[in-house]
Chains A and B, each alone.
Chain A
Amino acid sequence: MTATGAEKRDYSLTGPNSGPGFTPSEWYSTKLPRKRLKELMKRSDRPSLINYGLWLGAVLFSGALLVLTWGTIWAIPAAVVYGVFYGSGADSRWHECGHGTVFKTQWLNNFFYQLASFMSLRNPYLWRWSHTRHHTDTVIVGRDPEIAFPRPPSIGAWILNLFYIPALSKELVKMVRLSFGMLTDEQRDYLIEADRNKAFWASRIQLAILLSIVGLSVYLQNFLPVMLVGLPTFYGSWLHHIMATTQHAGLAEDVPDHRMNSRTVYLNPFFRFIYSNMNYHVEHHMYPMVPFYALPALHEEIKNDCPPAYPSLLAAYKEMIPAIVKQQSDPNFYIRRPLPTSAEPTPDYQRPVLQAAE
């Protein structure tokens, strides 16, 4: 670990750090034989239909349990289970389908992308372009719109986001603004002109569905409809939030090497199911076109060229929490991941905007 200085950085996409990041050829990736890479990238509907079928089945079954137990004490555990499948399960699936790698059949990708985006209360077009930028400029300050833990990270916001409160309020504001055709300067920076109308209409449709559900609850004088659609994103995203925090928190910024700015954490099969294997996050960023079901195999291929994977969520948090606490007083502190002696070193490139500032 290292610690120097104490100045805050400007993370806005229109501020002094918004200059170019690194070129694609400057980013490090572990070399893989073309034949093996093709095998790993190959698309198949079968594993995804099984995964998504189980997931949808779990959502419907636990939702039915919630309906059947409504008004009894058993509705509480039913809501917890339903919320996790709905909120946490949809958040990882929105992400995967956004990459277009889940199904060989594209309309299935598109269908589940729209469905999971709605369940996560995300605008499908805005987030597609935001996430495109995140992959181009992963944890590049002033370029990446998805840096979840700008230094110093807000511990209060992290706790509130267990119930999706700051994140969801932002998404709801976005939804309303987009419904009226309004974009912020930052959104204009990454959402292309051709997709803006689509983004506006997607928000209008999402908002209309949500308002209908709220209207139904009011009409029936019953909380159940909003417990089934809308609110699960609040009360069920906590598990995804806990897992997704490990992706980049406390790690290096402005480095063209995903081994240094991303984490791979071993998780149990249930968590991996909810999280769509995104615990293999170094692998996902290094080769984003490898589908979620092939990420464990990709991990086996490249692990000797990567920092050791964390053995558990607990192990990752044991390292992250002290680092996040330290960043409160020293925003330049970050966790430096150790590479095996056999690994290729991190490229020695520096961003032009940082060179100019020196």
Chain B
Amino acid sequence: MPHWIKACDADDVENEDLIRFDHEDRTFAIYRSPEDEFYCTDGHCTHEEVHLSDGLVMDHVIECPMHNGQFDYRTGEPKRSPACIKLKTYPVKVENETVFIDIGDQA
């Protein structure tokens, strides 16, 4: 069951960058790709609980600011050790310059 929530305005995220978005007790990372597409993943690196929002976006890769673990933020696939576990991704839509993410069923 989709559960769309407003994450940010499109202008809040620079091209080839990300921002942090906290919702209730969860934290997410919202990305804007070089092609101006938006993506969303869990906010923390799967290696250690380091927030990815301080990391560097290079093309379609997010690099963890602590240990250089890298993920493809479009799919969540780990690309470089010490990241080994896939990052959870979430559907994103942009309506009227507002970014929404689907965080699924509320437990």
Chain A residues with a Cβ closer than 8 Å to the other chain, count:
25
Residues of A within 8 A of B51 (CB): 24-25
B50 within 8 A of A: yes
B17 and A192 contact, CB distance less than 8 A: no
Task: State the Cβ distance, A342 to closest chain B Cβ, in Å.
Answer: 23
A287 to B50 Cα, complex, angstroms: 13
B50 and A132 contact, CB distance less than 8 A: no
A69 to B65 Cα, complex, angstroms: 47
A288 within 8 A of B: yes
A10 to B67 Cα, complex, angstroms: 26
Mind listing 21 A-B residue pairs with CB under 8 Å? A24-B48, A24-B50, A24-B66, A25-B51, A41-B65, A42-B56, A43-B58, A99-B68, A100-B70, A101-B68, A106-B80, A128-B81, A132-B82, A135-B66, A136-B66, A136-B67, A192-B82, A194-B84, A195-B81, A288-B66, A289-B65
B54 within 8 A of A: yes
From A32, which residue of chain B is reached at the shortest CB distance? Answer: B54
Residues of B within 8 A of A106 (CB): 80
Residues of A within 8 A of B82 (CB): 128-129, 132, 192
Interchain Cβ contacts within 8 Å, total number: 50
A37 within 8 A of B: yes
B63 within 8 A of A: yes
Chain B residues with a Cβ closer than 8 Å to the other chain, count:
19
From B84, which residue of chain A is reached at the shortest CB distance? Answer: A194
A38 within 8 A of B: yes
A24 and B49 contact, CB distance less than 8 A: yes
A289 and B49 contact, CB distance less than 8 A: no
The residue from A104, A195, A287 contacting B65, defined by CB atoms under 8 A apart: A287
Q: What is B's interface to A at a CB cutoff of 8 Å?
A: 17, 48-51, 54-56, 58, 63, 65-68, 70, 80-82, 84
Residues of B within 8 A of A104 (CB): 58
**Mask of A121-145 contacts with B, CB within 8 angstroms, 1/0:** 0000000110010011000000000
A24 to B51 Cα, complex, angstroms: 9
B50 and A289 contact, CB distance less than 8 A: no
Secondary structure dominating the interface of B: loop
Residues of B within 8 A of A38 (CB): 17, 56
Residues of B within 8 A of A192 (CB): 82, 84
Q: Which of A38-54 contact B (CB under 8 A)?
A: 38, 41-43
The residue from B49, B54, B55, B80 contacting A100, defined by CB atoms under 8 A apart: B80
Task: State the Cβ distance, B57 to closest chain A Cβ, in Å.
Answer: 9
A72 within 8 A of B: no
B17 and A289 contact, CB distance less than 8 A: no
A289 to B49 Cα, complex, angstroms: 16
Task: State the Cβ distance, B77 to closest chain A Cβ, in Å.
Answer: 15
From A43, which residue of chain B is reached at the shortest CB distance? Answer: B58
A282 to B79 Cα, complex, angstroms: 28
Given A42-B56, A192-B84, A195-B81; A288-B67 close (CB under 8 Å): yes
A355 within 8 A of B: no
The residue from A23, A37, A42, A43 contacting B54, defined by CB atoms under 8 A apart: A37
